[in-house]
A = this chain, B = another copy of it.
Amino acid sequence: MGIIALALFLLATLLLPRPALAEDGYDLWLRYRPIPEGEAAAYRARIAQLVAPAATPAQQATRDELLRGLGGLLGTAPATAEAVDADGALIVGTPSSSKAIARSRLATKDLGREGYRIRSVEIDGRKATVIAANDDAGAMHGAFHFLRLLQTRQPLDALDIREAPRTQLRMLNHWDNLNRHVERGYAGESIWDWHKLPDYVDPRYTDYARANASIGINATVLNNVNASAQQLTPMYIEKAAALANVFRPYGIRVFLSARFSAPKEIGGLDTADPLDPKVRAWWKAKADEIYKAIPDFGGFLVKANSEGQPGPQDYGRTHADGANMMADAVKPHGGKVIWRAFVYSHETPDDRAKQAFNEFVPLDGKFRDNVMVQVKNGAIDFQPREPFHPLFGAMPKTPLMMEFQITKEYLGFATHLAYLGPMFEETLRADTRVRGEGSTVAEVVDGSLHGYKLTGMAGVANIGSDRNWSGSHFDQANWYVFGRLAWNPQASSRDIAEEWTRMTFSNDTDVVQPIVAMMMGSREAVVDYMTPLGLHHLMGRSHHYGPGPWVQGGPRADWTSVYYHRASKDGIGFDRTTRGSDAVSQYAKPVAAQFDDAAKTPEEFLLWFHHLPWDYTTKSGRPLWDELVVRYTHGVEQVRGMRKTWDGLSGRIDPERHAQVATFLAIQEKEAQWWRDASIAYFQAFSQRPLPAGYAPPAHSLEYYESLEFPFAPGNG
């Protein structure tokens, strides 16, 4: 065949359709799609060879990820080499795993086990890039950071990056039951196929570990805090061990939620009293058994004496008694106990917001040194907006872990686009004032304020068996931002949104900017169309789907909406001032003083702390009722704007993901309107005031909204 014929044949072959990589979201932010040729060439010159050890599973995983990532981004993976022998080497490792790293003599002190440096260097006159760490875990984090530079199109010249996590434990909490139902899960069922474990180890578990490692998550609690004792039986320990084996090379430790009454349910004891020697011996033996199967087991997460769960108070003991017993059991193995502060007693209280504080502050200093107390961001329950939990700053002797909810139980499930970064950031930047101005929640959590020896942040996972992991493409950003903020609670949620958008959708500025803008405003839109001005917990009963401000009756007053909004003819809002439930006094004095005074309370918390008449004059000059209607309506309009933004990106995003997001935004607009209309219809019955001029009345009657039922809404507990 002549050379021309050959060229034509090759050209023809090139034009054959290449199978498109489906953009179904499975690859998350690790898509590694090819960088356009012009830019790729420059990167290739900088990454001509890879010098990375592969002597341990962690090193192997790091090298594999670099080869996969660079191969995808640059069209071809760099050659691997034992030593630098060309310009453009990428050298990865620790002083002990890599001779090249040892020779580079880069200082890695202060980086800890998980930190790393990325630096442009010259080695024997050759340009190279070094990713240096003290431990395989740090090298892996550095490798993901390096890939991120390419994914977000950063230059690789003159790199001098130094990163170390500001918290020790960056953890997902899976509320996954052993039957694969995920409590508050909106992304299918649990990815843990317990039935087929330990024999069948789904390759997806590895992708889960990769995704988490890429954002610095280093711990995972496999099962629901509403735990089954079965999780601690030998059969399920073996299954958990199989998962731990997958996660270990990625630097991720397995924890388990422990049911406090397990000694009775699976141990054959007649009590679970934490001071009973038999019970203590049982937990000790159980811990020994688990550590035999999972040598790097992280420890136990416990929800006790809360929402019907068993706990030490069943035996007249304190939370500290319970936590310390379990802490003693895991201590010899280096394990930890994470004890949740989300508790409330059987009797309905005057104000549920106060309970965790009242129960836990007296216990400060009474916990073992391997116990952490995990505190939700706010005192109620993961609402679209809550003021920071008063426990932050109030337990200087007890390491407090932050608990955020990544899954959108109260923010529209999977179909509403709500980027939670600004919400997490708002809490982290809140100033407790306990040691003067600037005593932020972030500084409590990262340990700097009180000198905690243990630090950490937990996120309730939004991960399920759905192809795109999180139920929607944008909910992946919430997993992402949680990990990045856990690594650095001082980071900017906007920067993280941009980083994620570049990795997930596009590096084109005219795509990145509108997406980031949309994300940054999205959570505020939810607040407005669901619970503006500090309203909270007005969702449908039990499943929390859709509006339910009329919810009342049932087993507990504090499981109803009317308990929280307290609307009547005279006004609306929960009086938590010194004249009311006095919840404000749980905060440091200057904060309490601010929240105690309606005029000084930030408007977004107004009805959280105050019961105000319908004609109360808000900052806009409008009466409260009018302001509520304006905010509700504004929320809907915001969603309409998001739809417009997204429609404008048609053709700039792959059609597969564009179509799904567009449909979800249409659902969100419909449901935002439903929220607005139902809420206004309901509250108008109390305010008995007309809508402000130009504001449309609800589309249906209040009776209609109240009649809607959703017995099969997903994620119910």
Quick check: A667 and B199 within 8 Å, CB to CB?
yes
In the complex, A230 has a CB within 8 A of chain B: yes
Quick check: B188 and A465 within 8 Å, CB to CB?
yes
- Distance of A126 Cα from B147 Cα, bound (Å): 57
Quick check: A666 and B194 within 8 Å, CB to CB?
no
Residues of chain B within 8 A (CB-CB) of A714 are 179-180, 195
Secondary structure type dominating chain A contacts: loop
- Scan A642-669; emit 1 where CB is below 8 A from any B CB, else 0: 0000000000000010001001101100
In the complex, A196 has a CB within 8 A of chain B: yes
- Distance of A310 Cα from B21 Cα, bound (Å): 50
Quick check: A711 and B230 within 8 Å, CB to CB?
yes
- Scan A348-366; emit 1 where CB is below 8 A from any B CB, else 0: 0000000000000000000
In the complex, A577 has a CB within 8 A of chain B: no
In the complex, A19 has a CB within 8 A of chain B: yes
Contact residues, A698-712 vs B (CB, 8 A): 711-712
Residues of chain B within 8 A (CB-CB) of A663 are 199-201
Contact residues, A170-210 vs B (CB, 8 A): 178-180, 188-189, 194-196, 199-201, 203
- Scan A1-43; emit 1 where CB is below 8 A from any B CB, else 0: 0011011001101101111010000000000000000000000
Quick check: A14 and B14 within 8 Å, CB to CB?
yes
- Distance of A487 Cα from B467 Cα, bound (Å): 33
Residues of chain B within 8 A (CB-CB) of A134 are none
- Scan A62-102; emit 1 where CB is below 8 A from any B CB, else 0: 00000000010001100000000000000000000000000
- Distance of A664 Cα from B193 Cα, bound (Å): 13
Residues of chain B within 8 A (CB-CB) of A317 are none
**Most chain B C-beta atoms within 10 Å of own C-beta, residue among A196, A660, A670:** A196
In the complex, A107 has a CB within 8 A of chain B: no
In the complex, A159 has a CB within 8 A of chain B: no
Residues of chain B within 8 A (CB-CB) of A149 are none
Quick check: A76 and B16 within 8 Å, CB to CB?
yes
Residues of chain B within 8 A (CB-CB) of A4 are 3
Identify A7's interface contact among B7, B196, B230, B711, CB under 8 A: B7
In the complex, A281 has a CB within 8 A of chain B: no
In the complex, A49 has a CB within 8 A of chain B: no
Contact residues, A388-428 vs B (CB, 8 A): 413-415
Identify A179's interface contact among B10, B16, B18, B712, CB under 8 A: B712
Residue of B nearest to A233 (CB): B709
Identify A75's interface contact among B16, B664, B670, CB under 8 A: B16
- Distance of A527 Cα from B75 Cα, bound (Å): 51
Identify A19's interface contact among B11, B21, B194, B415, CB under 8 A: B21
Residues of chain B within 8 A (CB-CB) of A189 are 180, 188-189, 465
- Distance of A178 Cα from B711 Cα, bound (Å): 9
Quick check: A667 and B3 within 8 Å, CB to CB?
no
- 5 chain-A/chain-B pairs, Cβ below 8 angstroms: A16-B75, A179-B712, A179-B714, A195-B713, A200-B667
Q: Which residues of A are at the interface with B, using a C-beta cutoff of 8 A? A: 3-4, 6-7, 10-11, 13-14, 16-19, 21, 71, 75-76, 178-180, 188-189, 194-196, 199-201, 203, 230, 413-415, 465-467, 656, 660, 663-664, 666-667, 670, 711-714
Q: A179-B714, A195-B714 are in contact. List 8 more A-B contacts (CB 8 A).
A: A3-B3, A7-B7, A17-B75, A180-B714, A188-B189, A188-B465, A195-B712, A200-B667
Closest 4 CB pairs of A and B: A10-B10, A7-B7, A178-B712, A179-B712
